[in-house]
Amino acid sequence: METQTVAQNSKLKEFFVDQLKDMYWAEKKLVKTLPKMQEAATTQKLKDAFGNHLTQTEEHVNRLERVFGMVGEDVDSTKCPAMAGIVDEGEDIIDDTDDGTAQRDVGLIFAGQKAEHYEIATYGGLITLAQVLGHEDAATILQQTLGEEKEADHLLTQIAEHDINYQAAREQAED
């Protein structure tokens, strides 16, 4: 028990909480960004994928709020430079591609998968740290979110590989 008490006041706990704040900001940013991606998407499959993931992402925000409580911390956020950059890049893709093209959907899938991969890496690390710190309950909640992020990434891959990439390959570039 003493080891766990020491761990709760450790540099590791401090880092864990900082990463929770980072992820909380990132998820809240995605709640604002996913509707824009959904609106910009051309195909219904991609629109639906972004819409469904928005619902999941809103739940991810709620879960993170519960995790803060489980580890005895106030809910707080810190700007996540990585997610901010990924979101900015996604907005550039929308600006730099033509409305209604498969090329735009390819770009949106890239942006979406970059966000998913960042989230997958971060949630994986958070789960490990939660376990080391003795917060199995928090690790279980984080694991649920990690599974959903992996599913979202897999769905984007399927959409790209089964249709969108081929449609974009047939679109003629403008001179």
CATH for 45: 1.20.1260.10
Of the pLDDT bands very low, low, confident and very high (cuts 50, 70, 90), residue 6 is: very low
DSSP state letters, the chain: -HHHHHHHTSHHHHHHHHHHHHHHHHHHHHHHHHHHHHHH--SHHHHHHHHHHHHHHHHHHHHHHHHHHHTT--------HHHHHHHHHHHHHHHHS-TT-HHHHHHHHHHHHHHHHHHHHHHHHHHHHHHHTT-HHHHHHHHHHHHHHHHHHHHHHHHIIIIIHHHHHHSPPP-
* Section 52-72 average pLDDT: 97
Residue 78 included in any domain: yes
Domain that holds residue 155: 2-168
Residue 114 included in any domain: yes
Residue 174 included in any domain: no
Residue 175 included in any domain: no
Residue 63 included in any domain: yes
- Report the predicted TM-score, pTM, of the whole model to 2 decimal places: 0.91
Residue 85 included in any domain: yes
Looking at residue 3, what is its pLDDT? 46
Residue 50 included in any domain: yes
pLDDT in tens, 107-151: 999 999 999 999 999 999 999 999 999 999 999 999 999 999 999
Residue 92 included in any domain: yes
- Overall number of domains in the chain: 1
